Structures are given as C-alpha cells and as structure tokens.
A and B are shown apart, each in its own frame.
Chain A
Amino acid sequence: MARFLLKRLFSATLTLFAVSVLTFLMFFALPRDPVSSICSKNCNPERLERVRDDLGLNDPLISQYAGYMKGIVTGRDLGSAQGGRCDAPCLGWSYVTNEAVSDTIARVLPVTLSIVIPAAILWLLLGVGLGMISALRRGTWLDRAAIGFSLTGASLQLYFVGAVLLMVFVYNLRLLPVPSYTSVFENPAKWASGLALAWVSLAFLFSAIYARLSRAQMLETLSEDFVRTARAKGLAKPTVYGRHALRAAITPVVTIAGLDVGGALGGTVITETTFGIQGLGRTAVDAVRSGDLPTIMATVLIAAVFVVLANVLVDLLYAVIDPRVRLR
C-alpha cells in the first residue's frame, strides 16, 4: 500500500512538473509582450529595456523558470516595481491588478472551493441516490421519473437553469438573497444562502450523468454472482444492496467524480458568471482578456494541480475500495 502510494505521488509530481514547464513556456509563446502592457503610454525603447531587466526577461529561460519555481517554494524578492518581497507561494506580480498574484488567488480560491465542494457532495448524493433507486425499481414509474429528471439535467445549460432559479427564488419569491460570497467562517448562514442557487444548479446538471452511470453499474452488479451469494446467505436487502452491490458498482462513479471535481475546482466560469460571483474561473477569464500573464499562469497551474490531485485521490480511493488494485 505504501509503495502504491509512493508510485502514485511520484507520477503526480512528474505530471505537475511537465505542466509547470508548459505553462511557463506559454508565457513566452503568447503573442503579447508583457512589457508593453506594463510601461503604458510614455514608453520608449530604453524604458522597455529597463522593465524587461526588472522582470528578469533578459535572463536565460532556465534561470527564469528556476526563479519562478523558487518563488513558489520559498518566496523571492521581485524588486520594488513588483511589490518588493513576495512570500511563498509566490506566483509573481500582476501589473494589471497591481497586486501579488498569490493575493488575488487567496481571495478567489475560497470562493470556487465554496461553490464546488458542497455542489459536488450534493450532486454525488443526488446522482448516486437516483441511480440506485431507479436500478432497484427498474421499469417502474419511479425509474422512469428518475431517468427523465436526469435526461432533463443533462440537456440543459447552466446559464439557463441558473437564470430560471434566480428569477424564481430571488426575484419573484424573494426566498434567497442575490447570490454573493461570504466566508463560511464569518457567517455560515449567509455563506450558504448566498451560494445555494449555484450549488443546486450545478448539482442538477452534474447529477444527471451520475444517475445514469450508477443506474447502469448497479444493474450490472445486481446480476453478479456475488450478489446472488449474498442473498443466498440470507442477508437482508439493505445489506445486499448497500454493502455488497453498491461497493462494487461505485468504482466508475469515483473515476468520473474525480475528473469532474478536479476540473470544476480549476474554475467554474459559467456558474460564477451566471451568479455574478468572482471565483477562480472568472479571474482566469478576466486575466486572459486583459493579457495578465502572471495571473493566467497561476490559474492554469492551480487548475492542473487540482486535476492531478483529484486523480491521485481517485487512485487512492480505488485501492481502498478494491483490494486487487493494491497489488499493481
């Protein structure tokens, strides 16, 4: 088990290294000179050159990359033009927002986490629950209703569902405040009521695929020999379904959930835009619009970290669920 864990962590580190190199190269590949957006109107070649020097853009690529990585790990001094000392994890200085990129991230990352994590819990419970029910009640009206519900969810777009929910619950019924972000540590009730619509609409859309997947998996597992054995032992239905069938049916759901949650943590642009909440996703889009390269790099890197971490987590969960995986 320890070896399995080490192997997974090692390959995850390699992946992240590759992503960071690619992201860094993208900085130079993009058809936009970061310097010209910095020195604004009264620009002249000498000044451009000085800014370039300040930013270290005249250093060899490798030492620039090393400096960037060193900043993430230990922090570094960026010079007075870029806010001076930049503590770890230092992601550079943004001339567009005029603040350290890590400060921007520290502000918007909790927002995205607050949207995605409760929504993911909700969509997993809803999706797997619906899938289980419709598998166990196959062919009944309950099954058809659950499948219809998930088909609807799969066919709709978030900005539509979000807009309808906003109209009904915020503007007509006035049951909920206009969506906004409050820290959960500050005021949990306000945190929940401000983000509830985002959770519900994400959960509605995402749960669809989970309902279908877990229904199909459950149906397949129910015809397995070991489920018949469990029944032949005289186990009660809840034990047969919960302990024996569900555990075997859940593995593909875990895979998809890992990909979805990892991806969503990298930014839920449409959700954030629909509900007017500034999270990681909108920050990334804004950065692309304004050519804010340090911020783009940071958001891409963070999204990659989430996807890689989610995959490591999925592998670990696999090993916990299926003892045969631990051998590999």
Chain B
Amino acid sequence: MDSSEPLPSGEPDDRPAVPAQRSDQDAYLRVDDLRVRFDTSDGVVRAVDGVSFSVDRGRTLGIVGESGSGKSVTSLAILGLHDPKRTTITGEISVGGRQVVGLADEEVRRLRGRDMAMIFQDPLSALHPYYTVGRQIAEAYRVHHPKANRREARQRAVDMLDRVGIPQPARRFDQYPHEFSGGMRQRAMIAMSLVNDPALLIADEPTTALDVTVQAQILDLLADLQAEFHSAIILITHDLGVVGQVADDVLVMYGGRAVERGSVEQVLRSPQHPYTWGLLSSVPSLHGDADADLVPIPGNPPSLINLPQGCAFHPRCRYADRAGSRSRTDVPELRPAGAAGHLVACHLGEEERATFYAEDVASVGVAR
C-alpha cells in the first residue's frame, strides 16, 4: 500500500501529521470501561459493553460503526440523557475532571448545554417546530446565564447565528425551523449547541440528513469553530469519508464494543480489524475504479440482546475460522497492533492480518 495515496475523501496532505492518541489522564473527556444496559421485556440489551476512549480539547474523535453498534448510546450516556429508570450505566465518564456516571440529575443538567453540548442528526425534528429558531437558541443561553436579560440573550443568539454563517441573522432569529433550509437548520442547531461555548461537542451524524454539498460546508464550519473555540469534538458517523475529513482519532465500534482504535492515519491507512476492512470496502471512492463493485459486509448487525459468543463479529467474518475456535468462545481484547497507540480487538495474529489485508482488501483497490 502506498501511503501517499489519499484517504477516502479527505485531503490529508496539507494537514500536519497527527500524533498518536494520548491516553493520558488529563484529557477533557475520559471514558473508561463504559457499560450501558437497558432492561427490556425481551431481555437485557447490552448497548455498550466496556468501551474506553478519551478526547482532549482541540481534538476530534470519530466514532464509527453501523446502526446499533452503540455509538449514539455512548454519546447519550456522556450527556446523561438516558432514562435512569430503564438504564444501567457503569464505568467512568469524566468531563473536565468531573465524574458524570452516578452524578445527581441536577448536577448533570447544569453541565449539559454549558460544558458539553450535542448536535443531532436531523435538525428538522431536533428543533422544536413551534418556537422560533432564535428563541430556542436564546433559551439555551439563558438557562445557563440566569442573569442575562432577554435583550442580551437575543444579541448573543443573533451573534451565534451570524458566526455560523446564517445571513441576516437578526431577521432569521424570528423565523421558525420550517422556514429554514436543511443546511441552515443544521447551522442553527450548531449555533444553539455552541451558544454557551462548551468544551465538549458531540455531533451525532450531523451531516447525514443533508445534501453532499451542504455536508462539506457543515464539516468545514465545525472545523473552523473547533479552531476558534478549542473544543473537544466527538463525531459520530457511519461515513468513513467524513471521518477522514475531520477526525484526528478514530474509534470503530461493533456490537457495543470497541474493535479498533487509533489515529485517523492508522485506522484508515492500515486498518487492522476485518470489520474496519469491511467498512472501508463499502465506501465508494473517487479515486478507485468507477466500475469496481462496492463490497458490503455480509449478514446483519448483531442483536444486542443476544450477542454472538466470543468475538461478536465472527459470524460475519470471513477469517473467523483462521483464528480457530477462540473466535467463538473468547471475546478478543483491545491490544496494541502496528504503530504506537493503534489498538485492535482481533484474534488473528498481526502477520496474518497483514497478509489478508494485502491480498484480499488492499489489492482490490477499495481501501487504497
């Protein structure tokens, strides 16, 4: 594999080399052995099953996986948005040094929107249809600035609308979400989440509901704002192209567990996990052969109530037999692989993986 070839859709060449992820204790967000369980009438859903990562200010972590891999559940757990009556959360989530798991509702509420904020996937349904956009932004400001009067909150909201590139912000303030275009709505949503200058921003598929051209604008905007506000960003997506464009580090999740973690260079250039290979092979490429078929990952995402024994990915993994019976009995642990800071949870040996990757994935031209 030639490392000078471009990443899926980013432009890595004009970006400084990203140092490997720091696993230090003083990162702004630290998640350690997070487990999220829902008790349902069908059984216990283990939506997140022992995930650890950290994100520091100024860095962007991309969390990648199919639906049901636990990426959104993780982000909602960080914000403390799960219903405590139906959810059991264990492990540690430290935001700016404060432990969020087990913190009183009221304490977490004060962190929400002020220290950590979220951008949702579909801005049309995430904004309240009956209130003006400006009012919703001003409301987010005033709840954490009780001393601010109506006029100050309005000014702040107009400034934020202006900052995220909405023309005529003072007029737009008084319009309803349905009077905004999709891209403008997502800009407004971003303005709302940044109105209190949070140190941590979680963007849950922020561009999925938008056209491709608008997607790029929104991602650029997020990058600009990060440079300006120096915030830690978690970008949740199933689109590896988006990850290549904006993330510094990548966490690949499958069945509620982390299967691969590393810098964006490591994960996209020398992916270690067969699941990551599958994700890469199913991304269309501008640089590859236009006639080459996309290769979907066979099978369906696993049921979180009844996760396959051993490696959760083994029923869909074409190399499962090569790892022997372990793949059906033991859950692989996240272990260092390749370069420093690159971790993978796979039973295959490093050399085996290198061979399979070179022969079956890289040679087909999909993962470049």
Contact = CB atoms under 8 A, between A and B. Distances in A.
Interface of A: 224-226, 228-236, 239, 244, 247-248, 321-324
Nearest to A322: B130
Nearest to B132: A323
Chain B's interface size range is 20 to 34
Contacts of A228: 81, 120, 126
Contacts of A235: 109, 113, 139, 143
Interface in B284-342: none
B109 A234 contact: yes
B184 interface: no
Nearest to B85: A139
7 contacts: A226-B128, A229-B120, A230-B128, A232-B79, A234-B110, A248-B128, A323-B178
A48 B143 CA distance: 79
Interface in B125-160: 125-130, 139-140, 143-144
Residue with the greatest number of chain B CB neighbours at <10 A, chosen from A234, A239, A248, A324? A234
A229 B110 CA distance: 15
A244 B79 CA distance: 19
Nearest to B141: A233
A234 B120 contact: no
A229 B126 contact: yes
Contact of B176 (A226, A234, A324): A324
Nearest to A232: B118
A322 B176 CA distance: 10
**4 pairs of A and B residues whose beta carbons are closest in the complex:** A234-B113, A234-B112, A225-B125, A233-B113
Contacts of A236: 109, 143
A136 to B, nearest CB: 11
B261 interface: no
A324 to B, nearest CB: 5
B114 A234 contact: yes
B41 to A, nearest CB: 11
Residue with the greatest number of chain A CB neighbours at <10 A, chosen from B114, B126, B130? B130
Contacts of A232: 79, 81, 112-113, 117-118, 120, 193
Contacts of B192: 233
Contacts of B122: 225
Contacts of A230: 128
A232 B140 CA distance: 9
B111 interface: yes
B120 A225 contact: yes
A247 B130 CA distance: 8
B143 A233 contact: yes
Contacts of A233: 112-113, 117, 139-140, 143, 192
Contacts of A234: 109-114, 140, 143-144
Nearest to A224: B125
Contacts of B112: 231-234
A235 B117 CA distance: 12
Contacts of B120: 225, 228-229, 232
A228 B127 CA distance: 10
B255 to A, nearest CB: 24
B350 to A, nearest CB: 41
Interface in B189-226: 192-193
A244 to B, nearest CB: 6
Residue with the greatest number of chain A CB neighbours at <10 A, chosen from B79, B111, B113? B113
A112 to B, nearest CB: 34
Contacts of B139: 233, 235
